[in-house]
Structure 1
């Protein structure tokens, strides 16, 4: 192929990419996945969640290491092979002539990607900004809101630290008042949670910050009810959806919030270092961008994307991750990961000395679950699991939460969870030896 012909081919391929019927996902998986799906089409999502033949097809689409069992997908999830291949393909293309292929070719893929994300989120594309993670998305909102000295923000001590530190910095710099409530999870009563936020609101409260799925132990918060209560009292609502987007079967407008930020490299399995911000249309104009923009009071959502040079290959890899996610189906995915969580949690709780820190009720949990063994510090339990059994979890000693966090994903097998259960039984028994 002549150089000019090759460049034309690359340009067409790049512009189509994940947004065409010739995407990497369709090339690699269309036939096998269609056959697997046909075999379970007569089943509801709950029944499909327990069909190991169906999920074995999805499991083979990942390149996870056989040397370890990764049960810390709440931190960051691996990307499927097709997503990795997409990033590699676009990275190779970029390096053939960065300033040309980045700005004139790959940059043209952002608008189709914005449309694809908007469809997944159930929003207008004009409300979606593409960035690098939930911290960047939510910090953009937190620093961009026109809060002034004396204005109050209500949040929780169980929110993510990067968000709490952003509010503390605004308190130090601008004189806002940051108030935090504290929860003892698990909680299986909506009214208890809503009431706690309501009691923190005063006439000076301008903003309520809610974490959709609490990263420490996976508690699901009743965001819609909290938002309705807060709006009735004149407050705006910002939602940290880092762990919920790409996992739970929902659309952002259903939360009734004003602002939403998420990381796409968690349960959506997009390339590492990808995120998304949603701002309700009528809120965009007043929100200052985190980085410079010619018209900071523009109502164009793209003002939040003025980052200069960024990773175009990562952005385009998001499209293949959405293809992968949609081929599974949001409801099926949620039900499967909830089933995996409850598979091990319902069994491990009966081991003497073991305590769960997360609800088993689907209204209040899904993927993430905290667990501890009496007399063993979380970091010691985490280390023992890895050193003896090569099982990767994360130990948490934070505020009133002391446990390891265990998070399966769609590639996690029942055999993996059985090994984890066996390890927990042996460790718990060894306390008395």
Structure 2
């Protein structure tokens, strides 16, 4: 009863009703491989997904479960009763408890986490705030996210730093080859190595810790783009070996759209200038990166509800389910004529890139949507030309059966 009252106090009765089937006493018989369809049917019911389309483009942004949507609405109504009072004097007091809870989940100190709007803002804070000078070198991957490449190129243009790009066959399962590709671009002038943990184009998981260790051996710092890995894969941020980390919480955590997080090692905070200036730019207080002016407090506070939903499922169970969903459709699709999966099966989880011989990514995307109402993301980048398929925990096997049928029909066309 105490537990129920506590949940109701934090998120209303709806939170308890939604999380009840996910609590430990109800999970004892649920297998970790992620194939218990009765359990996942309850998760699916927690989302308010469109009955008109099959959304398999959860990589860019994910929907929030109903309880998170309700929390945003509840907080917004509360704030609007007297904004300057309820927003700054009441709701803002929830930021520090939220910081502590998110830090515990991420495996780090709350003094290393700042809230912002997305991974781009988090990573730009580091990219544009690092003290780099002309001739300093930064190692990148051409498959890093475009916004991050733009930021580094701006520093190249403005400050005269040098960008060096690694080369390895996208989709390779050979981690040694990937690490060597990064090492080949490292040298005495290398100051930063930028690593995308999960490549957004095809879902490939890079051996981040091995690359980071190699970078640290030559005295370079490591910036990790965790936009597609946080709350998707089971890990703690320090395990990755980086010095800086940024992510979007509106992706795999299913937090409100427009929420993100920056992590910086405590001893590195003072050297990074904030993206939005304040009166103590050289402070070692992580909160100097939160000087955004008036901000959407209801969205920020609803992160806590999304975090409870995530923790109720569990990282291992969620990762296993997402990998199972990817394999469910991709293994069959790989056997179809003209179909190619451009994602390593072992080093990936939910995201995968599929191409069809003789078709562009745009043509595949249009066919899937116009004929089958399946929403995917057309990806034409470097050597990739196809669509990215990204299921989430609410995706049903029936949805993926329809995808397989659509790909089969396209392969025969």
Which TM class, normalised by the smaller chain length? over 0.9
Give 4+ residue runs of structure 1 displaced > 3 Å after superposition.
Answer: 23-26, 29-40
* Residues 15-39 of structure 1: per-residue CA shift (max 9 Å, x gap): xxxx953356573253564446645
CA distance in 2, matches of 1:428, 1:142: 43
CA change 1:36–1:298 in 2 (3 A) is: closer
TM-score by length of 2: 0.96
CA distance in 1, matches of 2:26, 2:8: 24
* Residues 23-62 of structure 1: per-residue CA shift (max 9 Å, x gap): 565732535644466454145411xx00000000110000
User: 2:65 — aligned with what?
Assistant: 80
User: 2:390 — aligned with what?
Assistant: 407
1:132-171 → structure 2 map (5 Å cutoff): 132-171=117-156
> Is the partner of 1:21 in helix, strand or coil?
helix
In structure 1, stretches of 5+ residues that fail to align are 1-18
2:16 equivalent to 1:30: yes
2:304 equivalent to 1:319: yes
User: 2:375 — aligned with what?
Assistant: 392
* Residues 141-162 of structure 1: per-residue CA shift (max 9 Å, x gap): 0011001111000010000000
Moved more, 207-216 or 179-188: 179-188
User: 1:418 — aligned with what?
Assistant: 401
1:279-358 → structure 2 map (5 Å cutoff): 279-358=264-343
2:265 equivalent to 1:276: no
State the number of aligned residues: 408
Note the C-alpha offset of 1:100.
1.3
Question: Of 102, 110, 117, which residue of structure 1 is paired with 2:102?
Answer: 117
Question: Of 259, 264, 268, which residue of structure 1 is paired with 2:249?
Answer: 264
CA distance in 2, matches of 1:25, 1:207: 42
User: 1:381 — aligned with what?
Assistant: 364
Task: Report if the CA contact (8 A) 1:158-1:182 is conserved.
Answer: no
CA change 1:60–1:341 in 2 (3 A) is: same
CA change 1:429–1:123 in 2 (3 A) is: same
> Is the partner of 1:404 in helix, strand or coil?
strand
Moved more, 248-257 or 176-185: 176-185
2:234 equivalent to 1:224: no
In structure 2, stretches of 5+ residues that fail to align are none
Task: Report if the CA contact (8 A) 2:21-2:27 is conserved.
Answer: no
* Residues 188-222 of structure 1: per-residue CA shift (max 9 Å, x gap): 12111110110001110000000000000000000
CA distance in 2, matches of 1:325, 1:189: 31
CA distance in 1, matches of 2:26, 2:42: 12
* Residues 285-342 of structure 1: per-residue CA shift (max 9 Å, x gap): 1111011111110000000000101100100110000010001011100000110000
User: 2:236 — aligned with what?
Assistant: 251
Task: Report if the CA contact (8 A) 1:158-1:183 is conserved.
Answer: no
RMSD (Å), alpha carbons: 1.5
User: 2:227 — aligned with what?
Assistant: 242
> Is the partner of 2:163 in helix, strand or coil?
strand
CA change 1:30–1:95 in 2 (3 A) is: closer
2:164 equivalent to 1:179: yes
Task: Report if the CA contact (8 A) 2:15-2:67 is conserved.
Answer: no
CA change 1:26–1:213 in 2 (3 A) is: farther
Task: Report if the CA contact (8 A) 2:18-2:46 is conserved.
Answer: no
CA distance in 2, matches of 1:180, 1:20: 51
Task: Report if the CA contact (8 A) 1:24-1:82 is conserved.
Answer: no
CA change 1:164–1:23 in 2 (3 A) is: farther
CA change 1:24–1:344 in 2 (3 A) is: farther
Task: Report if the CA contact (8 A) 2:21-2:42 is conserved.
Answer: no
Task: Report if the CA contact (8 A) 1:394-1:405 is conserved.
Answer: yes
* Residues 68-100 of structure 1: per-residue CA shift (max 9 Å, x gap): 000000110000001001111111112222111
1:13-28 → structure 2 map (5 Å cutoff): 21-22=7-8, 27-28=13-14
Task: Report if the CA contact (8 A) 1:372-1:402 is conserved.
Answer: yes
CA change 1:335–1:355 in 2 (3 A) is: same
CA distance in 2, matches of 1:337, 1:232: 34
